Structure 1
Amino acid sequence: MKLSAVLITKNAGPDFSKCLGSLGFADEIVVLDSGSTDDTLAIAERFGARIFQSTDWPGFGPQRQRAQSHARGEWLFWVDTDEVVTEELAKSIQDAVEHASENNVFQVKRLSWFFGRFIRHSGWYPDKVVRLYRRDAYGYDDALVHEKVHCPGASVQTLDGDLLHYTATNFAEYMAKSVRYAEDWAEGRARRGKTASLFSACTHSAGAFVRKYILQRGFLDGRHGFLLAVITAYYVFNKYVALWIKTRH
């Protein structure tokens, strides 16, 4: 078996069918679910995925490590449930698997949808993330959130085509996920002995807005760019407030 498409899921959301439908180029689809209560598993079954389940949540990095252990392909391609592989990217993945050198890993360019518009500035595009690598050579780190593929010494190449990321379609769900990510970030920092203050929460939040809207030219994304900068600042504020709450004495 050459290529496994791997996902971790929990209540995958409205774009899950489109996501799985774009993975026809893979030899298998592996899904590790952590307690979905909607139709996620039924949809995965419909697309012929090999489904595994876990009863606890160890964080994103460790959960991806678990999912990797279930895959059988020589190569792994990681995709999230709100992402869709374009035809150009699918062809590029297949070419990479056939012709890659021994130490190659491959990153994709994510083009993200934000409440009605694809964002091409604001530091969001090209949002390059490593997603394709040999199963026996590399894997994800232990980060609870914002996990990354640990691939020291690898030659990182960029695949052609975009990975469409429908990250923001429902406001309530998007904001709830943002709060969960802030909590996970704060937990990871607290475990490493880091602290924060309310003052640092304010300064980091203001800095995030300036970086997103001005330095990363979010203003070129129009009203959506302004909204993204405000929500980013709110997320950063929540991260540091959560850390302050966890570590104050």
Structure 2
Amino acid sequence: MISVVINTLNEEKNLARDVASVRGLADEIVVVDMESIDNTREVARKLGTKVFTHKKEKYVEAVRNFMISKASGEWILVLDPDEEISPKLAKILKGLPRGGRKDSSGVVVADYYRIPRKNIIFGKWIKHCRWWPDFQIRFFKKGYVSWNEVIHAVPMTQGKGLDLPEKEDLAIIHKNYSSLEEYLAKMNRYTSVQAEELLKNGYVFDWKDLIKKPFREFLGRYFAGQGYKDGVHGLALCFLQSFSELVLYLKIWQKQGFREQEIKRSEIKNEFGSLIKELRWWLRKELTWLKLPKWR
């Protein structure tokens, strides 16, 4: 038996599409709603799903284990309300528990599967910027996967896992940020939670992180992650994710009372000098056609 579990918060417009994509796969569809103020729960019931309520949380990882506990199936697929699966992926997943890879004794080898995820951001599939293949542990035998209640936490696993191939038609389709307003709203919420986590773990604000963290986030996504291959979408997204890092460390500075720190001119020169060298290295590595003036 396969259970599909979906978390919701004001998702009356998205839920039907999500549920429709798993009809051919699921023996049971469980919706866990976080106190929606729209008609999400009513829509879920009309769609024939089992509906449970959980208190509203700032991020979904805090609800994952509760969702799993409400599933009756031996195998579970976890989806978010802005995700869906293709008919081909549904067919593959349906076959895995009953006829997946087996050892000589006939026992299924994998206890959980990592599935690639296709992120649609601002209307375009982002194939670079470290957004693909974006493997997610979402299909597993009950009892073999659980979540730490930390934002964007990687789930804890036991047993053996396998990766599905990095193919578009085998990916979870994630209709991610559709507007700048949506991105900025989520960024504001996520960075507040991340700031609290860093402070809880003993982080003390250092002004240098206002320079290093955003700059290296951009380099890592635009050059190492080849974000430039995604055109304007890639450039914009890499800058936005760099900006998220800046906001995160500014929020920590705020939470620690906007304490002043001495900044020496020599330190500024060293910080920017080091980062400019990194930038030039990436420009030479990834954009070999670019003629660079000498930096002094």
Same fold (TM over 0.5): yes
Deviations 1:4-43 (A, max 9, x none): 1111211126433211110101111111111111222222
Superposed structure 1 runs of 4+ greater than 4 Å apart: none
Corresponding residue number in structure 1 for 2:226: 217
1:1-249 matches, within 5 Å, as 2-12=1-11, 14-24=13-23, 25-57=25-57, 59-100=59-100, 101=108, 103-143=110-150, 145-158=151-164, 161-248=170-257
More strand by share: 1
Identity %: 25
Q: Distance in 1 between matches of 2:155 and 2:96?
A: 18
Structure-2 separation of matches of 1:216 and 1:116: 20
Aligned to 2:280: none
Q: What displacement does 1:181 show?
A: 1.1
Q: Report the Cα offset of residue 153 of structure 1.
A: 4.5
Cα contact 2:6–2:80 (8 A) shared by 1: yes
Shift of 1:182: 1.1
Partners in 2 of 1:157 and 1:67 — Cα distance?
A: 23
Superposition RMSD in Å: 1.9
**Gaps (5+ residues) in structure 2?**
101-107, 260-296
**Against the structure 1 CA distance between its residues 76 and 65, is the aligned structure 2 distance closer, same or farther, given a 3 Å change threshold?**
same
Amino acid at match of 2:215: A
Distance 1:13 1:184, change over 3 A: farther
Q: TM-score, normalised by structure 1?
A: 0.91
| Structure-2 separation of matches of 1:199 and 1:178 | 21
Bigger radius of gyration among the two: 2
Higher RCO (C-alpha 8 Å, min separation 6): 1
Q: Which runs of 5+ in 1 are unaligned?
A: none
**1:156-193 CA-partner distances (Å, limit 9, x unpaired):** 33266111111011321221012111111122222222
Identify the residue that residue 273 of structure 2 maps to in structure 1: none
TM-score, normalised to structure 2, is: 0.77
> Would you say how many aligned residue pairs link Structure 1 and Structure 2?
247
For residues 98-147 of structure 1, what are the alpha-carbon distances to aligned partners after superposition, in whole Å with 9 as ceiling and x for unaligned? 1342552101111111112111111111111110111123211221x102
